[in-house]
Amino acid sequence: MPAQEENKVVTLTHASGSSVKVSLFGATVISWIAKDEERLFVSQNAILDGSKAIRGGIPLVFPIFGTKSHIALPQHGFARNSYWDYLGVLTDNDEVKVRFGLKDNQLTKEQRQAWSHSFRLTYTVTLTATSLKTFLTVKNEDSDTMEFNTLLHTYFRVKDVAQVSVLGLKSLTFADKVANGETSIESRDAVTVAGEVDRVYQNAPDHLQVNTDNQGHQILIHKEGMKDTVVWNPWIEKAKGMGDFGDEEYHNMICVEVGSVAQWVQLKSGQTWQGGQTLAVV
């Protein structure tokens, strides 16, 4: 049964023994245990008191990706820095799910001035024995069309990032943030990490595979409604520059993040948009 804990974390458990924990701050998934193993990385230095976004798990990016010169919001927007409402639990056959909500009237005055649309966000986290589904629904309750970016900034926990590879990105166009946004074509069958990586792969396929080691362990990603995929690892120097990230922790994580960030999602007045991912342990 799910439980809402004193430290503002909702825990969801499944009959198989799998579990997920979601912080009400940012509706951030901070733990996913499947087949008796933790699958998500959260930094040992992560700040969990609500003063800044949680470094790890699955932070929720909305309504901007990165920073925008014409929108005075912090990096990656306000969703990961806001307390969400706990909307309760549903059970359906082999699934157990929990929902969270965020509306414009929960934002600060400064946030509403920077992004003045009326909206309703619903975030649904669904747990099974071997999978985790995280889906966002955006409803435009404004009188005007609104534009937004969104992304599930998933941090996968790995033993050694040198053994990790991501399949499904070959031949895609990507913007390389390490190379000042230069655009290139991915030529590799398997994307690996041997230095700082920060790439936005555009129009990525809906099925991706993360080989979490070289022993055949995999996490499959199936995305819906999300056009792009970001691959990120800060490597040595960037890791040292982040106060909420251990200097050597880059060895133990890789971010493979589904989202719609290369272009704005346009949502007309009264319309609803949905996107998300299903992660499955193999």
- Residue 39 labelled as part of a binding site: no
Is 251 noted as a catalytic residue in this protein? no
Measured in degrees and rounded to the nearest 5, phi and psi for residue 98 equal: -130, 145
Alpha carbon distance 233, 102 (integer Å): 29
Is 257 noted as a catalytic residue in this protein? yes
- Residue 80 labelled as part of a binding site: yes
Contacts of 133 (CB under 8 A, 6+ apart): 97, 124, 125, 126, 127, 276, 277, 278, 279
Catalytic residue among 153, 186, 217, 249: 153
- Residue 99 labelled as part of a binding site: no
Question: Residue ranges for the binding site for substrate?
Answer: 55, 75, 80
Just list the catalytic residues: 153, 257
Question: Residue ranges for the binding site?
Answer: 55, 75, 80
